[in-house]
Amino acid sequence: MGYLMVKRNCFGLADYFRQLGISDKEQAAQFFAWLLCWHDIGKFARSFQQLYLPPELKIQEGARKNYEKISHSTLGYWLWNHYLSECQELLPSSSLSPRKLRRVIEMWMPVTTGHHGRPPDRMDELDNFLPEDKAAARDFLLAIKPLFPLIEIPAFWDDDEGIELIKHLSWYISATVVLADWTGSSTRFFPRVAHPMDIKGYWQKTLVQAQNALTVFPLKAKVAPFNGINTLFPFIENPTPLQQKVLDLDISQQGPQLFILEDVTGAGKTEAALILAHRLIAAGKAQGLFFGLPTMATANAMYDRLVKTWLAFYSPESRPSLVLAHSARTLMDRFNESLWSGDLVGSEEPDEQTFSQGCAAWFADSNKKALLAEIGVGTLDQAMMAVMPFKHNNLRLLGLSNKILLADEIHACDAYMSCILEGLIERQARGGNSVILLSATLSQQQRDKLVAAFARGTEGQQEAPFLEKDDYPWLTHVTKSDVNSHRVATRKDVERSVSVGWLHSEQECIARIESAVSQGKCIAWIRNSVDDAIKVHRQLLARGVIPASSLSLFHSRFAFSDRQRIETETLARFGKYCSLQRASQVIVCTQVIEQSVDIDLDEMISDLAPIDLLIQRAGRLQRHIRDINGQLLEVRAGVYVGDTSKRIREMIWQQISQLAGCGNVVMAWATNTESGFEFQTWGENRRIPVDLDGLRLVSFLPVDNQ
């Protein structure tokens, strides 16, 4: 398998060996095949062989039956370190001295013996091999050596530069070892042989079988040129300022690039990011992309959006794959219906699956392989596991190789996830891959850390720009040698003011909901816990003012099939293109609708939450302006804080005022609900506007309160 994988340049194998100084494809294929012949040498151990001793081999059973349970990966690595490394006759030719050649091959041994998703353990003492076992392993490796006469180990592999390059590329090459092992172990393509065969005859036979086995690997799709925004999004007549900026941006620099797109919720960041990604792919800077989101619900919603767009990235004659990657994707009917079998590739069998959407089934049978598809969308943790000590993380790294990492809602990462995201960005940059990050509420500290992570990956000194309070929306473009920042105008129809006022009891909130329903408005109450959401939903049902058919409950504790159904119903009821069916509708929910869900509400109540989350929730509020005259409507949001004391409310107000001075608060403030406050300490009557995130913080301090 490995020989033909290099010859066909599957997963970029031939390119990796070209970087390692083996430009001749036949020579590279022979080296990789030779290396793979070592991957199971641990199975020569008596502890493994005694699992089944064929009678025709006439091997006498030893007196010992019990051995320490050690994986054959570790056994093979031990055999190299303690016996085979001294057998100079087993090693390929090279101009290096025997000692240096052994040192070079030593670097490759964990790559091949560690083919089960994790490196082999280094052990000093074990007794799983009998002397005849070691001799049998040596005889086998000596017998296969003549099959690969062209191998010549480059001398620079022993230099500091060569050692570092092998360490870097070994992550990707070790992943292809896993894929070759999985495919080569399939009895579908390689039936078990019941009679002895000589090595050369077996090699020729399996080469023919491997030709058929290669068909399980989907063919590489041909990239389409970028022909303008309407190819991707025919519905966009006039690009937003951010979308126009990414259309005009110079992306010709060599090497990886980092883009941070910051704009208000509903301003078209997703479309702008996909436009930028298509430009990069069409320019030969990537072969595909992975779109990472914070939750399964947001990933499902983005999958449905990409279904309408992704094929424009590739030529019509190609058959790329769009994969959904998260832990519950097998329960996603829309994705399951899109799968097509690799058996049909190159065959004359009829294929009913349309090209409008689709994914090769080979990518879909494991999340570990999912990132290998041309276009992936899923939860960001699927990409994060590539830089965490997870089994088969090398497969995920291979999947992200030559791809754009596109991460949305990055402000949603907590301190722990942010650290992992920074490691992922560093790794992507080190591998020469570009990154696009999206956020509506990114802090200066987060921006500094993200740019610093990219700089470490490129071994540069780039620093994030320091933004003033008016520097928003903003686009940051980082290359290996430079940082370019651009202030971007906000789309006028998403500039709005949100009036925020306290609601001190659940009865007030329920009254607000019933009032909105009586006016034909749709309204949501976003609660911070599932129990609170369930309680309020039951109260509304019990009151009977609002028909049960107009009440929805949406949270993360539902069984996934029910959650999927509710998610679909929510988008159908409150989505962008809904009109009459949204009238007088109520949804009581948790944070599941907070980010990346394209729903549109007339009014909203939110439990008290951090300001960045309030901004995200406000992004679902009058998201698509619906006034018949096109005029901006006043957006109203209530914050349920419970029965707080006057002093606590004063402290909250003081903190908000201080944050407003720093440009860190993005909301409008109506003080008519705070008539009991004492405002003497906060200056004279004034109006404080802060243009940030497309929302306007306006503080009116009544003269009576001076």
What stretch of H or E contains 80?
helix 72-82
Are 92 and 34 in contact, with CB atoms under 8 Å apart?
yes
Query: For residue 328, what pLDDT is reported?
Result: 76
Per-range mean pLDDT, top range of 238-242, 425-429, 589-593: 425-429
Q: Is 255 left (phi over 0), alpha (psi -120 to 50) or beta?
A: left
Structure tokens, 402: 């030559």
Query: For residue 252, what pLDDT is reported?
Result: 93
Query: For residue 354, what pLDDT is reported?
Result: 41
- Out of 154-158, 495-499, 582-586, 679-683, which region has the weakest mean confidence (pLDDT)? 679-683
Q: Comparing 241-320+378-491 with 493-705, is the CATH topology the same?
A: yes
What is the pLDDT confidence band of residue 663, given thresholds at 50, 70 and 90?
A: very low
DSSP state of 400: H
Give the distance from CA 290 to its chain's centroid: 5
Among the listed residues 491, 32, 432, the one whose alpha carbon sits nearest the alpha carbon of residue 256: 432
Position 393 pLDDT exceeds 70: yes
Contacts of 620 (CB under 8 A, 6+ apart): 265, 524, 593, 594, 597, 599, 600, 601, 604
- Out of 113-127, 348-362, 474-488, 589-603, which region has the weakest mean confidence (pLDDT)? 348-362
**Residue 93's beta-bridge partner residues?**
152
Residue matched to tokens 């020989």? 3
Q: Which residue has the higher pLDDT, 695 or 619?
A: 619
Per-range mean pLDDT, top range of 396-400, 683-687, 695-699: 396-400
Q: Is 411 exposed, middle or buried (0-12, 13-18, 19+ CB in 10 A)?
A: buried
Query: For residue 351, what pLDDT is reported?
Result: 38
Position 561 pLDDT exceeds 90: no
**Residue 314's beta-bridge partner residues?**
223
Between β-strands 403-407 and 435-439, what pairing exists: parallel, antiparallel or unpaired?
parallel
Position 144 pLDDT exceeds 90: yes
Separation between Cα atoms, residue 29 and residue 148, nearest integer Å = 9
Helix (H, G, I), strand (E, B) or coil at 254: coil
Separation between Cα atoms, residue 1 and residue 360, nearest integer Å = 20
> What's 2-216's CATH class?
mainly alpha
pTM to 2 decimal places: 0.79
| Residue type, position 167, single letter | K
Q: Is 385 left (phi over 0), alpha (psi -120 to 50) or beta?
A: alpha
- Out of 208-212, 611-615, 625-629, which region has the weakest mean confidence (pLDDT)? 625-629
Query: For residue 583, what pLDDT is reported?
Result: 87
Separation between Cα atoms, residue 583 and residue 519, nearest integer Å = 9
Query: For residue 695, what pLDDT is reported?
Result: 33
Q: Which residue has the higher pLDDT, 366 or 512?
A: 512
What is the pLDDT confidence band of residue 468, given thresholds at 50, 70 and 90?
A: confident
The third-level CATH classification (topology) of the domain covering 241-320+378-491 is: Rossmann fold (3.40.50)
Query: For residue 670, what pLDDT is reported?
Result: 37
pLDDT in tens, 603-618: 999 999 888 788 888 8
Query: For residue 696, what pLDDT is reported?
Result: 36
Query: For residue 638, what pLDDT is reported?
Result: 64
Contacts of 643 (CB under 8 A, 6+ apart): 504, 505
Residue matched to tokens 């959904």? 324
Residue matched to tokens 């883009």? 259
User: Following DSSP, what letter does each residue of 166-225 receive, concatenated?
Assistant: HHHHHHHHHHHHHHHHHHHT-TTTSPPP-S---HHHHHHHHHHHHHHHGGGSPPPPPBPP
pLDDT in tens, 198-208: 999 999 999 99
Position 679 pLDDT exceeds 50: no
Query: For residue 581, what pLDDT is reported?
Result: 75
- Domain locations in the chain? 2-216, 241-320+378-491, 493-705
Between β-strands 498-503 and 635-640, what pairing exists: parallel, antiparallel or unpaired?
parallel
The residue length of the chain stands at 706
Between β-strands 668-669 and 288-293, what pairing exists: parallel, antiparallel or unpaired?
unpaired
Separation between Cα atoms, residue 420 and residue 658, nearest integer Å = 32
Residue matched to tokens 């097998």? 330
Are 233 and 240 in contact, with CB atoms under 8 Å apart?
no
Give the distance from CA 570 to its chain's centroid: 25
Query: For residue 598, what pLDDT is reported?
Result: 75
Mean pLDDT across 295-311: 86
Are 309 and 278 in contact, with CB atoms under 8 Å apart?
no
Query: For residue 681, what pLDDT is reported?
Result: 35
Mean pLDDT across 569-586: 82
Mean pLDDT across 30-37: 96
- Out of 228-232, 286-290, 454-458, 577-581, which region has the weakest mean confidence (pLDDT)? 577-581
**Residue 376's beta-bridge partner residues?**
290, 323
Query: For residue 414, what pLDDT is reported?
Result: 82
Structure tokens, 522: 């749709």
Query: For residue 248, what pLDDT is reported?
Result: 94
Supply the CATH classification number for the domain 493-705.
3.40.50.300
Mean pLDDT across 307-335: 83
What is the pLDDT confidence band of residue 293, given thresholds at 50, 70 and 90?
A: very high
Mean pLDDT across 112-122: 89
Among the listed residues 295, 300, 264, 272, the one whose alpha carbon sits nearest the alpha carbon of residue 619: 264
DSSP state of 594: S
Mean pLDDT across 244-266: 92
C-alpha angle 21-26-31 in degrees, rounded to nearest 5: 65
Position 627 pLDDT exceeds 70: no
Are 304 and 293 in contact, with CB atoms under 8 Å apart?
no
**Residue 261's beta-bridge partner residues?**
438, 475
Query: For residue 287, what pLDDT is reported?
Result: 95
- Out of 286-290, 491-495, 658-662, 702-706, which region has the weakest mean confidence (pLDDT)? 702-706
Separation between Cα atoms, residue 582 and residue 572, nearest integer Å = 9
What is the pLDDT confidence band of residue 628, given thresholds at 50, 70 and 90?
A: very low
Position 661 pLDDT exceeds 70: no
Structure tokens, 12: 């970029």
Give the distance from CA 364 to its chain's centroid: 15
pLDDT in tens, 535-548: 999 999 999 999 99
**Residue 697's beta-bridge partner residues?**
690
Separation between Cα atoms, residue 585 and residue 514, nearest integer Å = 10
Query: For residue 666, what pLDDT is reported?
Result: 38
Query: For residue 648, what pLDDT is reported?
Result: 54
Separation between Cα atoms, residue 143 and residue 683, nearest integer Å = 89
Separation between Cα atoms, residue 393 and residue 118, nearest integer Å = 8
Query: For residue 348, what pLDDT is reported?
Result: 30
Mean pLDDT across 638-667: 53
Position 156 pLDDT exceeds 70: yes
Are 454 and 258 in contact, with CB atoms under 8 Å apart?
yes
Among the listed residues 215, 399, 224, 218, the one whose alpha carbon sits nearest the alpha carbon of residue 320: 218
